[in-house]
A = this chain, B = another copy of it.
Amino acid sequence: MGHTFPGACAPFGIVQLSPETDTIPHNVDGKYQTKVYEYCAGYQYHDPTIVGFSHTHLSGTGHSDLGDILIMPTSGRIRTNPGTADRPDEGYRSRFSHSTEKSTAGYYEVVLDDYGIKAELTATQRVGVHRYTFPSEEGQFILDLGSGIYNYEGKTLWTNLRVVNDTLLTGYRITNGWARQNYTYFAIALSEPLRQYGYVDHQRMKYNGFWRKMDIHHNFPDMAGREIVGYFRTGLSSEKQLTVRVALSAVSMGGALANLYAETSGRSFDDIRNATALCWEHELKNVEIEGTDDQKALFYTSLYHTMINPSVYMDVDGSYRGNDMEIHKADGFTNYTVFSLWDTYRAEHPLLNLLKPRQGRDMATSMVQIQQQSALHLLPMWFLMANEGWCMSGYHAVPVLADAATKAGFPRSAKVLEAMDATATSPWIEGMNDYLQYGYVPYDRCGTSASNTLEYAYDDWAIYYTALQAGNQEMAERYRKRALNYRNVFNPELGLACPKYKDGSWKKDFSPLQTYGEGFIEGNSANYSFHVPHDVLGMIACFGGEKKFLSRLDELFSMDLDKKYYEDNEDIEEECLLGGYVHGNEPSHHVPYLYAWTSQPWKSQYWLREIMNRMYVNNIDGLHGNDDCGQMSAWYIFTAMGFYPVCPGTDQYVLGAPYVPYVRLTLDNGRTLEIRADGVSDVKRYVKNVLLNGKTLTRRYITHQEILDGGVLEFQMSDKPNKRSAQKALPYSLSD
């Protein structure tokens, strides 16, 4: 259920070269709806065939798109349709066996059984590199420009393919999918010269006028059409290998060519593979841990997954396609895309702001550029390639900017504050006009009114906090008031957040355990009511005081949730549950840390380890829930280290308990922080005492600056909760 892909990519690369184990066949209607969720990453382990290798993938999402520029090496008769999983021989796809698969950071290999071809993949940030070893001295591959993930008739608007010379192809495709207008230009370099090529057009151009005069389907170097599938035949040397380098650009074919040259010119497949492995080594060695092999595998796999999306979205010369579909030049920053912000504002961006402040800063800058280019003047919500995808709720770019300002040197400029303000007052934010009028989103106007209100209030806090730091008192005060709006959806009789009508009355027959149809999105009231990360003390009061709050928290983790509450939800399976706590859906991610504001902080320590043990497994199941562009993984990293950014935007990390006995963080400033938890285990999961550089920490949090300063953070572990811990001082809360 993680929806990650096994293919090759470089850190933060826009190319994710990975096998598709199923795609929707061309021109087959009606089927795709059911596969939108399943094939988000193009790959499902139980599938028997590989359709081909495409160059763009979303990592861990719950909605799908991309899968651009699919290449499949074949032998024998040319087939230009993919065939189906149950009748693979009718198309170009091939059976494969997991026993031939190898997948490491930046490298993937598999044997395509139907053809006896060994396929190896590696990648740089902008170039996917294929090495195919054929059984004979004839090389052959399909380039399907109509193939894609979440494909359907009419998604591909236009395809273009040019044979520049016998080892170089260029072209592009334009699609209308989740990314409403997606331009993928490419340049493809072959290690062996072409002998023969051609194409079919599965959608046939409506106008074919004077083109009829020629045979344009064979060896015609100027191909174009609505959905063309090309085939290419080369001779091979005695090594029987063909290397295919595929560079992408969202700008132009010339841009793709420049990317191709800059990143792969003069380098062999092995050179590139080794260089990308070194890149990953470099990025991953920021955090060194001790632990069991399983723990290491999970930790580094998680860390790897936090550095795929967001992805670099610009050519080597800085040109990129903006939200306005125009070509811009990134001035002094690297432009990024794929922002799954409802998910990633929680831990993914905070982790990058901690470990990769340059990238964190540039991602924040990219978001402000998007806002400047937006016809609606909105910061991104769920942004992919050059497009707003409108998925999920809130304006959670705001806390990401706030967090980058607090931790990664992102400036709190007037432009940034204006971008936040424009977004947080926009009529295009669901229910915003009502929210401004009523102080909450009324349920008679919006089906997810309660969760929207909770999310908006936190985002408003992030503007308040940023404006305050920037010295803009007027704006700070305006948003401080808004940040308290969460109170307007707390039903005092229930002590829970609940949908409220315009007239101030509460929804009748309200079920706090039902996820859908009760005013919340991807989470029920029992989980979502805890979503006040910026004012936990105020929230506790809304629950009716600490006792009631604790009883709700305890109940959440230990209840026996009836099947009826989740069996119809595609994104909740039984193994995603811990009582009524749903780790696979993000709204709960900070909830186990909320004990830190109560008299029973050790309960965090207990439940965090339960979640780590049950929700992350070192086998093919991997994650119990979509990775959501690194959010699930970033949660793992923080929690393994023993702290978590409950309220991104503040400089505080709330303490839990380390999952592994030793972590060494190498920071961007060159300093190191060692985190020790000697003897930590499922039994010794409780924290007796915390020492920072030898001194007992009397707080339940550490600050960003303390991490940056480095040293040793020592957790003394115990098999019993320490109910008299020295850690008394509570983390930030607006009502404090």
Contacts and interface: CB of A to CB of B under 8 A. Distances in A.
Given A176-B158, A324-B162, A390 B153 contact: no
Nearest to A214: B428
Interface residues of A, number: 48
Contact of A207 (B178, B226, B252): B178
A162 B209 CA distance: 33
Given A221-B375, A325-B253, A152 B209 contact: no
Contacts of A254: 326
B253 A326 contact: yes
A209 B62 CA distance: 13
Interface string A184-219: 000000000000000000000111011101100000
A160 interface: yes
A391 B162 contact: no
Contact of A222 (B177, B214, B374): B374
A253 B328 CA distance: 12
Contact of A375 (B222, B252, B375): B222
A72 interface: no
B390 A181 contact: no
Nearest to A154: B206
Contacts of A374: 222
Of A153, A160, A177, A375, the most chain B CB neighbours within 10 A belong to: A375
Interface of A: 63, 150, 152-155, 157-158, 160, 162-164, 172, 174, 176-178, 180-181, 205-207, 209-211, 213-214, 220-222, 224, 226, 252-254, 324-327, 374-376, 382, 389-391, 428, 430
A177 B207 CA distance: 6
A206 B155 contact: yes
Given A157-B158, A209-B389, A253-B325, 4 more contacts: A154-B206, A155-B207, A157-B157, A180-B211
Contacts of A209: 63, 178, 389-391
A211 B325 contact: no
A430 B154 contact: no
A467 to B, nearest CB: 26
Given A326-B252, A374-B222, A390 B211 contact: yes
B174 A375 contact: no
Contacts of A157: 157-158, 174, 226
A390 B207 contact: no
Given A176-B205, A374-B222, A210 B162 contact: no
Given A253-B324, A428-B214, A376 B222 contact: yes
A327 B252 contact: yes
Nearest to A374: B222
Contact of A224 (B181, B206, B207, B210): B181
Contacts of A376: 221-222
Nearest to A325: B160
A723 to B, nearest CB: 47
A149 to B, nearest CB: 12
A207 B151 CA distance: 10
A108 to B, nearest CB: 29
Nearest to A63: B209
Contacts of A177: 207
A178 B207 CA distance: 7
Given A181-B224, A210-B390, A326-B252, A174 B162 contact: no
A469 to B, nearest CB: 32
Contacts of A205: 176, 180
Contacts of A221: 375-376
Nearest to A448: B213
A99 to B, nearest CB: 38
6 contacts: A162-B324, A180-B224, A181-B224, A222-B375, A253-B325, A253-B326
A311 B549 CA distance: 75
